[in-house]
Amino acid sequence: MRIILIGPQGAGKGTQAKRLAEKTGARIISTGDMVREEIKSDSELGRKVKEYNDRGELVPDDIIVEMAKPHLGAPEGWVLDGFPRNEAQARTLDETLEELDVEVDRVVALEAPDEALVKRLSGRRQSQTTGRIYHIEHDPPPQNSEEDPGPFVQRDDDTEEAIRRRLEIYHEQTEPLKDYYAERGLLVEVDATRSIPEVTEEVLDAVGERA
Ligand code: AP5
């Protein structure tokens, strides 16, 4: 299975990518996670990308493409979470997939209104041990769990200002990719305001794999 998840910030791309990977064995390629790993390593590149990340701006395309490219040939298939995010990245992805002789099965657009997203992001917590994403109301972090002891932290870019900027960039640059993929017959839109398991079911239906 090779699918691309498109969606505004907080629509559940990371949440669904993890669930889809668990159910299908596909690899998760999350450029956001790669950016955060680089920041954590405190490398020169990490310090550079942190400035973009914390402001809610896109990291320059060449850096993101270099991060994603080595994973695209994975034989187990993949779920792309957060890449491509503009037309230039989509075109580079097309070229790379052609070189690798692999095809995208589906592009899934997770749809939710901005107001719901701001609420979701302010309640998001991520485990520093497992990377799993939680929500303080909808999917609370476990207490005293050996499987996931946490700590459960808020992301540096989940400030109101950065969230607003990320949504603005999504509508300007990423949302037009829906037309880009619809023209190729690859797009399917999924209502992401439903519960987390319901969204997973609908995505699996759309890509032809049952939960
Ligand atoms: P990235 O990590 O990709 O962040 P994002 O796009 O802002 O997306 P989010 O992770 O905020 O949202 P999500 O849709 O994954 O939601 P989640 O599943 O966590 O990118 C971070 C930064 O890296 C970018 O700003 C940029 O600087 C850089 N970057 C990354 N890729 C790039 C690229 N291609 N080009 C340039 N720069 C790039 O869910 C959110 C919350 O909602 C959670 O708490 C979850 O539990 C809850 N939730 C999820 N689904 C549901 C549901 N159905 N019902 C109730 N609650 C739910």
List, for residues 129-157, the tens digit of each pLDDT value: 998 999 999 899 999 999 999 999 999 88
Decide if pLDDT at 186 tops 80: yes
d(CA 57, CA 50): 10
Our answer on whether the CB atom of 141 is closer than 6 Å to any ligand 1 atom is no
Give catalytic residues, as residue numbers.
13, 85, 124, 155, 166
Bridge partners (DSSP) of residue 3 are 79, 106
List, for residues 80-124, the tens digit of each pLDDT value: 999 999 999 999 999 999 999 999 999 999 999 998 998 899 899
Residues 6+ apart with CB under 8 A from 121: 9, 10, 158, 163
Average pLDDT value for residue range 157-177: 93
Question: Cβ(133)–Cβ(28) under 8 Å?
Answer: no
List, for residues 8-31, the tens digit of each pLDDT value: 999 999 999 999 999 999 999 999
Our answer on whether the CB atom of 11 is closer than 6 Å to any ligand 1 atom is yes
For ligand 1, what atom is nearest to the CA of residue 5?
14
Distance of CA 99 to the CA centre of its chain: 24
Average pLDDT value for residue range 54-73: 94
Residue located nearest, by CA, to atom 4 of ligand 1: 32
For ligand 1, what atom is nearest to the CA of residue 169?
25
Mutate-to-test residue for ligand 1 from 5, 18, 28, 35, highest number of ligand atoms within 8 A of CB: 35
Residue located nearest, by CA, to atom 56 of ligand 1: 138
Residues 6+ apart with CB under 8 A from 114: 8, 167
List, for residues 34-48, the tens digit of each pLDDT value: 999 999 999 999 999
The DSSP result for 43-107, as a single string, is -HHHHHHHHHHHHTPPPPHHHHHHHHGGGTT-TT-EEEES---SHHHHHHHHHHHHHHT----EE
**Residue type at position 209:** E
Residue of 34, 5, 192, 205 whose CA lies nearest to 107? 5
Mutate-to-test residue for ligand 1 from 139, 158, 174, highest number of ligand atoms within 8 A of CB: 139
pLDDT band at 160 (very low <50, low <70, confident <90, very high): confident
pLDDT value at residue 105: 94
Question: To the nearest 10°, the Cα dihedral for 178, 179, 182, 183?
Answer: -150
Average pLDDT value for residue range 64-72: 95
For ligand 1, what atom is nearest to the CA of residue 7?
14
pLDDT value at residue 209: 64
Domains of the chain by start residue, with CATH: 2-113+174-210 (3.40.50.300)
pLDDT value at residue 211: 45
